[in-house]
Every structure is written in C-alpha cells, then in structure tokens.
C-alpha cells in the first residue's frame, strides 16, 4: 500500500475511489475536505510570505513538529556556513 501512495504522491497514477476513501479516513477528514484541499491550504503556502508570517505558521505547529522544523533549519544554515567557509578558504588559497 505504501508503494501505491508513493505513486499517487508523485503523480504517476491516479488513486481509485476506495483509496481516496482510505486516505480521507486516515487523515480524519471528509471526502469533500480532501477533494477541496487545494482551496483549504492556499494560505499555507509560505513561499511568498514575510518572515513574520512564516514564523506565525511555524508557531501553530505541535511541539514535536517545531523541533523537527528547527532541526532541519539548523542543518541547512550549518551547511550554508560550512560551504561559505570552504569557499572563502579556497579563494584565499588561490589568491596566495
């Protein structure tokens, strides 16, 4: 069943109605809510929102989800800093 969900998520197949019913039940939502999810979640797309708006969305998460979010954010920032440090070191070596 997990492989089927993966194919559905990746747009490789369309779900059968019975699968849609199971997904809605697992999510604890009605079929109408699931089908209209794009309308419900349009305000959640935070790409174009300000940092303040984004943090307000993060603040609505459960504590476990916040911890996971900040762990990912910390990892990305650390990766960026390491990449910048390595780039600066290489540039310094090339100039020497």
Domain layout of the chain by residue ranges:
1-40, 46-96
* Residue 93 confidence (pLDDT): 79
Mean pLDDT by 10 residues, the chain (96 residues): 73 78 79 66 64 82 90 90 87 76
14 neighbors 8 (Cβ within 8 angstroms): yes
* Residue 18 confidence (pLDDT): 79
Quick: pLDDT tens for 25-50: 887 777 777 666 666 556 656 666 67
* Residue 94 confidence (pLDDT): 78
46 neighbors 57 (Cβ within 8 angstroms): yes
* Residue 37 confidence (pLDDT): 62
Question: CA–CA separation, 64 vs 38, rounded Å?
Answer: 25
Question: CA–CA separation, 37 vs 1, rounded Å?
Answer: 22
Question: CA–CA separation, 53 vs 65, rounded Å?
Answer: 17
């Amino acid at each position: 069943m997990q492989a089927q969900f993966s194919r559905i998520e990746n747009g490789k197949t369309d779900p059968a109605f019975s699968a849609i019913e199971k997904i809605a039940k697992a999510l604890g939502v009605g079929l109408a809510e699931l089908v209209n999810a794009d309308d419900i979640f349009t305000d959640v797309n935070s790409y174009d929102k300000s940092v303040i708006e984004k943090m307000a969305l993060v603040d609505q998460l459960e504590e476990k989800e916040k911890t996971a979010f900040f762990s990912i954010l910390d990892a990305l920032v650390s990766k960026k800093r390491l990449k910048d440090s390595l780039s600066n070191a290489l540039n310094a070596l090339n100039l020497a």
